[in-house]
């Protein structure tokens, strides 16, 4: 049965780093995948936020996000412009309202987003906002809530300073790993050379390791937040 899937990420490239292979799997199996990216992803590189000074970079990021979308076959991409790495300065309710709008419009069965223990503050805020927006109230259609890991954030958190990412849900992406890497290549400006954690090589090593832990050539790991067994 065709499902509607929603991926909610903090920054352009997080959606691919976290679950690019899983997105490709969903699309290949006939599901409809939508992506929402909340923060603009560039202005934290300056001492103070100045989106005009980074306008070309922001435009390049948007183009990269749309290219990655097309590579994976995503049905829709929504880019918001919350301040990069400054989302803790935004009223949480404002973030929740944006997410709720997408959830009530798209009515997804499965939502993927960031893990609570990530080092990056925007990832943490996104996680909190998504969990709130997906609260199981009457009429809510989200029955599965999954949290992904993002290389160069999840593993950089210090033990004891945040929740540990211990995956208990795995998706075999053996046939989709190359597609994930092609989508990451669209974000060439955001990727780093090996041995940086946010390099193509590191992403492949992680996928191979997650796969090896469950007997697959490659996999993506998730933490299950909630699953509701609904009537068919």
Q: Which residue has the tokens 């948007």?
A: 62
- 25 phi, psi to nearest 5 deg: -60, -45
Structural domains of the chain sorted by starting position, each given as residue range(s) with its CATH number in brackets: 4-227 (3.40.50.10320)
Would you state the pLDDT for residue 53? 65
Which conformational region is residue 88 in: left (phi greater than 0), alpha (psi within -120 to 50 degrees), or beta? alpha
pLDDT in tens, 36-86: 999 998 888 776 776 776 889 999 999 999 999 999 999 999 999 999 999
Distance CA(61)–CA(42), nearest Å, equals 8
67 vs 74, 118, 176, 183, 185, CA distance in Å? 10, 26, 17, 7, 10
Adjacency order of strands within the sheet including 169-172: 76-82, 32-39, 4-9, 110-114, 144-148, 219-227, 169-172
pLDDT of residue 131: 98
DSSP-H helix ranges across the chain: 14-28, 55-72, 92-106, 121-133, 177-186, 200-212
pLDDT in tens, 98-141: 999 999 999 999 999 999 999 999 999 999 999 999 999 998 99
Q: Percent of the chain, pLDDT > 70?
A: 97
Give the integer Cα–Cα distance in Å for 99 and 105.
10
pLDDT at 44: 83
Residue 69: C-alpha distances to residues 85, 107, 165 (Å): 23, 20, 26
CB atoms within 10 A of CB 222: 24
* 82 and 62 Cβ atoms separated by less than 8 Å: no
pTM: 0.96
> β-pairing, 169-172 with 144-148?
unpaired
């Amino acid at each position: 049965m065709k499902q509607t899937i929603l991926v909610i990420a903090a920054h352009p490239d997080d959606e691919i780093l976290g679950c690019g292979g899983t997105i490709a799997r969903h699309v290949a199996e006939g599901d409809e995948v939508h992506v929402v990216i909340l923060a603009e992803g560039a202005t934290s590189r300056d001492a103070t936020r100045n989106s005009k000074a980074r306008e070309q970079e922001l435009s390049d990021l948007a183009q990269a996000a749309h290219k990655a979308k097309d590579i994976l076959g995503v049905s829709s991409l929504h880019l918001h412009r919350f301040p990069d790495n400054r989302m803790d300065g935004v009223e949480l309710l404002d973030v929740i309202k944006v997410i709720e709008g997408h959830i009530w419009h798209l009515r997804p069965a499965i939502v993927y987003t960031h893990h609570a223990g990530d080092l990056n503050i925007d990832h943490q805020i996104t996680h909190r906002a998504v969990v709130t927006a997906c609260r199981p109230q009457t009429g809510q259609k989200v029955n599965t809530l999954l949290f992904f890991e993002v290389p160069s954030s999840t593993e950089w958190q210090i033990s004891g300073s945040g929740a540990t990412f211990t995956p208990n849900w795995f998706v075999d992406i053996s046939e989709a790993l190359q597609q994930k890497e092609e989508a990451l290549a669209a974000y060439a400006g955001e990727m780093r050379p090996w041995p940086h954690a946010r390099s193509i090589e590191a992403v492949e090593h992680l996928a191979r390791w997650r796969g090896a832990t469950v007997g697959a050539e490659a996999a993506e790991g998730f933490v299950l937040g909630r699953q509701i067994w609904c009537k068919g």
